[in-house]
Amino acid sequence: MNKERTLGEILRQQGVSRRGFLKFCATTASLMALPPGMVPTIARALENARRPSVIWLSFQECTGCTESLTRSHAPTIEGLIFDAISLDYHHTLQAAAGSAAEQARESAMKENFGNYLLVVDGSIPLANAGFSTIAGTSNLEILKEVAKGAAAIIAVGTCAAYGGLPHAKPNPTGAVPVSAIISDKPIVNVPGCPPIPVVISGVLTHFLTFGRLPDLDHLGRPLAFYGNNIHDRCYRRPFYERGQFAESFDDEGARKGWCLYKLGCKGPVTYNACATTKWNNGTSFPIESGHGCLGCSEPDFWDMGGFYRALSEPIGLSARTVAGGAIGGAALGAASGLLNRKKKAEALARHEKIGVDELKDGETK
């Protein structure tokens, strides 16, 4: 397909009417969390946008990120956006294999040097180059080579953004994220395990629409999708405010849809768009299905102390610590008081929230 044609021309050729295009722009504005008033601006920009070349590299990953994207039913916003880009290399999706595939990548890099977008999913092993290779070339080598000519890099999935599961303790492969290796290119992190499909395509849409990458938070994530935490946008938030919590997955609170905070929900410390964008074409999201948020868009979410441990529950402390304090000569009550203060100090040091019960008692200091 001719890369010189604009997105508007491509869509018209596919028989998409102006009304269809405006509908596309309205849903695009919605997914980018832009106000509906921005639709005419998006329409003007997308009308004249040209197809960028995209090279997609997959390293230490489970292909869940690609699955997330391709399991969306066409024609969706994602489908249209991927019609609007030139996906020149994606070794899972492309028909070509072996040297022909690598030649496709090399020619795309040469033709579009300095202008192509590099999408990466998966972490990069540093402990041994042989842990993960593509056509005999190590992930580290291929990333450095392709990043040289990229206009920008989009790290898709928590593995590429923060190391993800391969980076979980004890990190046997020495896995690192893209940002640990490439420091001279703009990098957008699109974390999630996997990321929401429209968030992946939303970043590409933003690039097409505005000709630049979106504004990012301190962890390199687009603010449009990661600007709010799950807790603040959760429909169960009012139960949290009222102190109504499910204590187990089959108690009365769970049946009544109360807050899952005490069952380990990581919503209060997780920034993502699940609560509003939702999954499976807007059907629901984990909390709506009765399970707490795992915090999958946050760095090191595998090592956050357990999926079913409440955020306020101190990690690594046991009755033995209390007994140790008592043996030291202090009364048990005093030891418990000291331990509570220690728990709180350690929780604060780990950026954890102070517990609901403590909030109720006014013991936040």
Partner 1 sequence: MSFPPLEITRPESGNLKLILHEISHALSELMATGNERSIDLRGIPLAPGEEKKLLESLGEGEIRAELDALGKSRIQESRYSGVWIVTHCNSNGEIMGRFIEITRSPALLAAQTEDMAAGLDALRQLIATGTES
Positions in the binding site for partner 1 (CB under 8 A): 12, 16-20, 22-24, 26-27, 29-31, 33, 35-37, 73-77, 80, 233-239, 255-258, 275-277, 281-282, 284, 288
Cβ 19 to partner 1 shortest distance, Å: 5
Residue placing its CB nearer to partner 1 in the complex, 99 or 281:
281
The CB-of-316 to partner 1 minimum distance in angstroms stands at 34
Closer to partner 1 by CB, 76 or 171: give it: 76
For the bound state, the minimum distance from the C-beta of residue 156 to partner 1, rounded and expressed in Å, comes to 22
CB nearer partner 1, residue 3 or residue 73: 73
Considering the complex, what minimum distance in angstroms separates the CB of residue 233 from partner 1?
5
Q: Which is nearer to partner 1, 129 or 249 (CB)?
A: 249
Q: How far is the CB of 31 from partner 1 (least distance, A)?
A: 8
Nearer to partner 1, 182 or 275 (CB): 275
Question: Nearest to residue 293, comparing CAs of 315, 312, 268, 314?
Answer: 268
Output 80 or 213, the one with its CB closest to partner 1.
80
Instruction: Provide the minimum distance between the beta carbon of 129 and partner 1 in the complex, in angstroms, as a whole number.
Output: 43
